[in-house]
């Protein structure tokens, strides 16, 4: 089977308390559909957890508006550790998560009215589109951007959908860009600018010079959940002034406090593995066969970008629709690239968590 990148499935977020922060995500982003909750050991991630099997609880949550979800991840065998330094713009890794909005100005007003920790003010990005940044209660940064490719209007008051990409700090854009363009399919450069940027001015070191490259994809993604996951963009950012940039997860474990990985829903894992190895990005983790998440299952793998940022791939085999009735979507033998019918995706909305 040929490789198909179906879209961003989820942003992994390491947190000290899953249920507490998920309430905030429901209120501000409308990410309120529970796909699964699972508590177990994570033996396959031992290379990223100090050479010791760690226990964790994880919840995968989506929005019916569209966009990738959140895998909200909490250690149960140890404390979730913060970075020992102040993370600054230009540090290497997943710096901010892009969240799509139907109306950025209305989203800004909602966040402001509800006393969210807005960074700076409503401003324009290098494309001339309205944008703003906000911190969640754990200090994770979200970039609210104008969105396209909506699935359902849930009438959420924030006007937000879910994950529409990310901002990734890299040491050298010219060396990093091939992974995102060739393997992940973000072939289009929307802008490539170097300078001092108004929309970044409120960040630590935000008054310095950076190179920013925004990548997108021209063609709509294919695959079972592509209509729900929607289009996404990745922004690579490289400091031109700093000589002290650090890896955001330096001396910490995968699963610790912050954005732990960017996960893509894919089909054709074997073909993807061959391509990744040929281009210098071998799988560092591979579950090989169906990995059971209790209520969901699939094969997953990881690669690292040039600066060690973790990219996860999941080939989904089973997803619950209504667990009590034993209703699951089975995908292992579905035609590659085919969308699930809209009614079936809408049915996942029955797993809404209400406050």
CA distance 25 to 276: 33
The DSSP symbol for 257 reads S
Q: 4-25 in b/e burial notation, b at 16+ Cβ within 10 A?
A: bbbbbbbbbbbbeebeebbeeb
Domain extent for 34 = 4-351
pLDDT of residue 320: 65
Query: Are 285 and 46 within 8 A, CB to CB?
Result: no
Provide the residue-wise pLDDT of the chain in tens; the chain has 355 residues.
899 999 999 999 999 999 999 999 999 999 999 988 889 899 999 999 999 999 999 999 999 999 999 999 999 999 999 999 999 999 999 999 999 999 999 999 999 999 999 999 999 999 999 999 999 999 999 999 999 999 999 999 999 999 999 999 999 999 999 999 999 999 999 999 999 999 999 998 999 999 999 999 999 999 999 999 999 999 999 999 999 999 999 999 999 999 999 999 999 999 999 999 999 999 999 998 656 555 557 799 999 999 999 999 999 887 766 666 666 777 777 788 899 889 989 988 888 999 8
CA distance 231 to 188: 13
Number of H helices, E strands in the chain: 6, 18
Q: 239-276 in b/e burial notation, b at 16+ Cβ within 10 A?
A: beebeebbbbbeebbbbbbbbbbbbbbbbbbeebbeeb
Number of domains in the chain: 1
pLDDT of residue 241: 96
Question: What's the token pair of residue 94?
Answer: 């997943």
pLDDT of residue 70: 98
CATH label of the domain that carries residue 120: 3.10.180.10
Query: Are 200 and 168 within 8 A, CB to CB?
Result: no
CA distance 343 to 338: 15
Sequence-ordered alpha helix ranges (H) in 205-312: 226-229, 269-278
Which residues sit opposite 329 in a β-bridge? Answer: 319
Tell me the three state secondary structure of residue 231.
coil
Alpha-carbon radius of gyration of the chain: 19
CA distance 314 to 132: 30
Query: Are 300 and 314 within 8 A, CB to CB?
Result: yes
**Which pTM does this prediction carry?**
0.95
Cα-Cα end-to-end distance for the chain? 42
Name every residue whose Cβ is closer than 8 Å to that of residue 19 and which is 6 or more positions away in sequence.
none
Q: Residue with structure tokens 């809209």?
A: 342
CA distance 167 to 62: 20
CA distance 259 to 160: 19
Q: 87-111 in b/e burial notation, b at 16+ Cβ within 10 A?
A: bbbbbbbbbbbbbbbbebeebbebb
């Amino acid at each position: 089977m040929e490789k198909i990148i179906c879209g961003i499935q989820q942003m992994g977020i390491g947190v000290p308390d899953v249920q507490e922060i998920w309430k905030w995500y429901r209120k501000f982003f409308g990410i309120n559909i529970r796909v699964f909750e699972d508590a177990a050991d994570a033996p396959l991630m031992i290379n990223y957890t100090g050479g010791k099997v760690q226990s964790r609880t994880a919840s995968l949550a989506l929005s019916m508006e569209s966009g990738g979800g959140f895998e909200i991840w909490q250690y149960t065998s140890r404390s979730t550790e913060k970075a020992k330094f102040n993370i600054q713009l230009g540090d290497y890794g997943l710096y901010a998560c892009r969240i799509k909005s139907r109306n950025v100005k209305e989203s800004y007003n909602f966040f402001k009215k509800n006393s969210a920790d807005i960074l700076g003010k409503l401003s324009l990005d290098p494309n001339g589109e309205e944008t703003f940044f906000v911190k969640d209660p754990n200090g994770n940064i979200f970039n609210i951007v104008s969105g396209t490719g909506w699935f359902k209007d849930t009438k959420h008051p924030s006007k937000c959908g879910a994950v529409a990409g990310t901002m990734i700090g890299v040491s050298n854009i010219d060396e990093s860009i091939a992974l995102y363009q060739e393997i992940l399919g973000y072939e289009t450069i929307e802008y490539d600018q170097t300078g001092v940027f108004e929309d970044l001015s409120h960040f630590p070191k935000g008054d310095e010079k950076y190179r920013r490259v925004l990548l997108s994809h021209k063609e709509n993604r294919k695959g079972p959940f592509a209509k729900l996951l929607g289009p996404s963009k990745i922004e690579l950012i490289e400091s031109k002034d700093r000589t002290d940039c650090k890896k955001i997860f330096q001396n910490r474990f995968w699963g610790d406090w912050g954005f732990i990985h960017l996960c893509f829903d894919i089909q054709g894992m074997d073909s993807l593995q061959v391509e990744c190895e040929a281009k210098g990005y071998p799988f560092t983790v591979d579950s090989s066969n169906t990995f059971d998440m209790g209520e969901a299952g699939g094969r997953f793998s990881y690669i690292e970008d040039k600066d060690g940022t973790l990219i996860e791939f999941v080939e989904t085999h089973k997803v619950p629709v209504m667990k009590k009735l034993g209703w699951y979507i089975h995908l292992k033998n579905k035609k590659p690239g085919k969308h699930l019918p809209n009614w079936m995706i809408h049915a996942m909305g029955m797993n809404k968590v209400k406050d």
